[in-house]
A and B are shown apart, each in its own frame.
Chain A
């Protein structure tokens, strides 16, 4: 069997190998990283019948243009993604997310853009021929660790695929839904902020700014006023933590966040709503709603159950 591979004809804005994330390295300054939208990551690997934690290519905004070489392979794309397959004879097939496609020698996969969202996922039957770093296929670009020397996919490079014979034919009817509120738990410095600012935080719109990437999401909106102090002793951070620096604009920590920070924490996004928040593109409006710990834990149970139910509907 000839070697299956993709030649990168256009890398896209931020295309990286990711899996479920890398545990146990916070203490050296490495965050979990991993696929930002866990649900769409899991659906991608299930549809293509890979292992749950196999590596995928995650892309943001504009995705890659890839030329396939080899006998044949099956692929699937999840998220809200506009893509097409350009066959060797130049005929074009408009791509649909959540259904598998077979690629033959010299077919091109053109992942044009994510729509009204940020991240999309490409999973390939059999996975990519890449190495793990500390038990994970996740890439942390800032620390240069992970597959592909810890780098984003680059123009002209070749991505080797694990060769498999079987063609996959699966599909799923699924629509990524939006929610009215992003639910949060009060942060550990909640009482540093003025009553008016707390009211603003839980009632007014915040807009996702352009200063947003896998590390964090900066929001703009009503300025959050700190009454106590704007710097605290640096301490551990987690994904979903919302810090408010002296300028009053909140920053949400995303999967590649710095592991230590010294700005007061007004709130933390609940685990069940993290995917949905991280998928909000610049310009989108967000409203926050406070829930308690028990509610958050129950909502996470519902979230995992829903994910399982969605995956069970794959045909």
Chain B
């Protein structure tokens, strides 16, 4: 399960589940995340899963690294079924207006636009984590045929809704933000809702499917929003 626990500064710690990034490891992280959240442990202020780690942020006025570490080590994590996951369908427009890096991707992976889009929309993706900016889902794994590195120089501003790929992952920029992923489309769907009862459309552990929409459908979608 947890391979190692170590501190990040004086008010946070990582639970490390090992170096491998895959669905199996990540599901363990997500299970721990859900379980620890439900236990309401004194002094824990924040907890979030990433691919292979759990970060726990605690209140130094109420507790400390050693106490939280001991508590986490002695937790009885019972459930290993991911219970509350769902399938989310996301519309994406791949029009040239949005696909800033399509040419770069075509060159690097040696496929045409149609094939790249088909590769992307022909399967379901697993949500490993959300974050960096509010609601941004880190999805994987994309087909090996369309994998490539991130941009050498990140963009200062990636527009809201941009759909990007890098290495084995894809994501959606839920807000305008700096970023270095290869942008190949844009989704008009609001992913971060601001509704306190349901802040995000996609949660860690969920499955995501993309479907292609035309530019006309994209602008209509915006009108409905």
Contact = CB atoms under 8 A, between A and B. Distances in A.
A281 B9 CA distance: 23
B10 interface: yes
Interface residues of B, number: 44
A271 B60 contact: yes
Nearest to B65: A293
B133 A142 contact: yes
B178 to A, nearest CB: 9
A240 B196 CA distance: 27
B104 interface: no
B89 to A, nearest CB: 20
Interface string B125-155: 0000111111110100000000000000000
Given A25-B199, A143-B192, A261 B55 contact: no
Contacts of A297: 10, 60, 64-65
Contacts of B200: 28
B131 A27 contact: yes
B123 to A, nearest CB: 22
Interface string A197-241: 000000000000000000000000000000000000111111011
A176 to B, nearest CB: 22
B194 A27 contact: no
A145 B8 contact: no
Contacts of A238: 8-9, 11-12, 55, 57
B213 interface: no
B49 interface: yes
Interface string A286-315: 000000010011001000100000000000
A268 B135 contact: no
Contact of A270 (B6, B10, B48): B10
A293 B46 CA distance: 20
Contact of A188 (B6, B175, B177, B199): B6
A248 interface: no
Interface string A123-140: 000000000011000001
A238 to B, nearest CB: 4
B98 interface: no
Interface in B49-78: 49-55, 57, 60-61, 64-65
A296 B49 contact: no
A23 interface: yes
B109 interface: no
A260 B129 CA distance: 9
B9 A235 contact: no
A70 interface: no
B33 interface: yes
Contact of B194 (A144, A185, A268): A144
Contacts of A265: 8
Chief secondary structure at chain A's binding surface: mixed
A259 B200 CA distance: 15
B45 interface: yes
B193 to A, nearest CB: 10
A142 B175 contact: yes
Interface string A228-258: 0000011111101100000000000000001
A32 interface: yes
A240 B55 contact: no
B204 interface: yes
A185 B9 contact: yes
23 contacts: A23-B46, A26-B55, A26-B57, A27-B129, A28-B135, A29-B136, A133-B194, A140-B134, A143-B133, A143-B134, A144-B175, A233-B50, A237-B55, A259-B131, A260-B50, A260-B132, A268-B8, A268-B12, A271-B10, A296-B10, A297-B60, A297-B64, A304-B61
- 10 closest cross-chain pairs (CB), A and B: A236-B55, A268-B9, A143-B134, A29-B131, A26-B48, A259-B131, A296-B10, A27-B48, A26-B46, A260-B131
